[in-house]
């Protein structure tokens, strides 16, 4: 009798509704993962530690890791991620998620150069040798949407940079992947970003039509490359 494969589980910490798992969720579900979603600041995160899933996915959001005086639940979220890291669990962090992993690893997170829109990253040698290499199929184009940056955590390997922001992606061993950019976004979801970030776009002097037009040109190919990247990383992590 064939051995029955157990169901894999992923815990998702989500900060705003429109920054959801996207293509990461598609890939995870295709690989047999059941997703358990926690809304940051609303849901109790203790089950993430008490009943750990095979993977923890920490998504983006428009707040700063350092704003715990305004959003006091951030300290508890950092503590949950830190415990996950101490236990050697698998973690993927995207944008704010990458910053939270950095903070949980003892690195500093702080305001940096704002990058919003489609633009390429430059992979390091380590990045080209990693699952990140799949993004080369889309000429290394990704969606940027951040204003903060971070110091590289101790023991982390830098995977990609831009001219303005050196720390765009890093790995900690083969169980932690942190991405400052957004390869998880489906092209068809970009309108929710343009609506949700309308105030930020206005303050930055960015015309939503510019992002919308560029999304029509490359959004599908970037999402496909992102899906391949996440699938390769999960395969390498045994997930």
Counting every residue written for the chain, the total comes to: 239
161 belongs to a structural domain: yes
66 belongs to a structural domain: yes
3 belongs to a structural domain: no
17 belongs to a structural domain: yes
Q: What is the CATH number of the domain that holds 123?
A: 3.40.50.880
* pLDDT number for residue 106: 97
Mean pLDDT of 23-44: 97
2 belongs to a structural domain: no
| Ramachandran bin of 212, using left for φ above 0, alpha for ψ from -120 to 50, beta for the remaining angles | alpha
Range of the domain at 101: 9-237
Paired strand residues for 93:
58, 178
107 belongs to a structural domain: yes
Strand 157-161 and strand 141-150: the pairing is unpaired
Evaluate if residue 3 carries a pLDDT over 60.
no
Lowest-pLDDT choice from 4-8, 60-64, 124-128, 212-216: 4-8
1 belongs to a structural domain: no
pLDDT bracket for residue 2 (50, 70, 90) = very low
Closest C-alpha among 151, 147, 160 to residue 121 = 160
Mean pLDDT of 74-95: 97
Kindly report, residue by residue over 180-196, the tens digit of the pLDDT: 999 999 999 999 999 99
Total domain count for the chain?
A: 1
Evaluate if residue 139 carries a pLDDT over 60.
yes
Mean pLDDT of 134-157: 97
Number of Cβ within a 10 Å radius of residue 89: 19
78 belongs to a structural domain: yes
Strand 109-120 and strand 141-150: the pairing is antiparallel
Mean pLDDT of 44-60: 97
Alpha helices in 66-206, H assignment, sequence order: 73-86, 96-104, 125-128, 190-196, 198-204
3-state secondary structure of 132: helix
pLDDT bracket for residue 7 (50, 70, 90) = confident
């Amino acid at each position: 009798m064939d051995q029955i494969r157990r169901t894999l589980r992923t815990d998702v910490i989500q900060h705003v509704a429109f920054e959801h798992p996207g293509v990461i969720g598609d890939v995870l579900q295709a690989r047999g993962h059941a997703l358990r979603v926690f809304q940051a600041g609303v849901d109790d995160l203790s089950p993430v530690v008490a009943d750990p899933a095979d993977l923890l996915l920490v998504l983006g959001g428009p707040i700063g890791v350092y704003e715990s005086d305004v959003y006091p639940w951030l300290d508890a979220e950092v503590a949950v991620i830190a415990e996950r890291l101490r236990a050697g669990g698998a973690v993927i962090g995207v944008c704010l998620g990458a910053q939270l992993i950095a903070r949980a690893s003892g690195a500093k997170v702080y305001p940096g150069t704002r990058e919003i829109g489609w633009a390429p990253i430059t992979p390091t040698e380590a990045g080209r040798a990693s699952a990140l290499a799949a993004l080369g199929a889309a000429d290394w184009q990704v969606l940027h949407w951040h204003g903060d940056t971070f110091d590289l955590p101790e023991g982390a390997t830098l995977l990609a940079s831009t001219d303005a922001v050196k720390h765009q992606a890093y790995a900690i061993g083969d169980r932690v992947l942190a991405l400052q950019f957004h390869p998880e976004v489906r092209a068809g979801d970009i309108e929710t970003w343009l609506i949700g970030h309308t105030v930020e776009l206005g303050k930055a002097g960015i015309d939503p039509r510019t992002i919308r037009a560029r999304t029509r040109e490359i959004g599908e190919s970037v999402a496909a490359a992102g899906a391949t990247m996440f699938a390769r990383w999960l395969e390498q992590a045994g997930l």
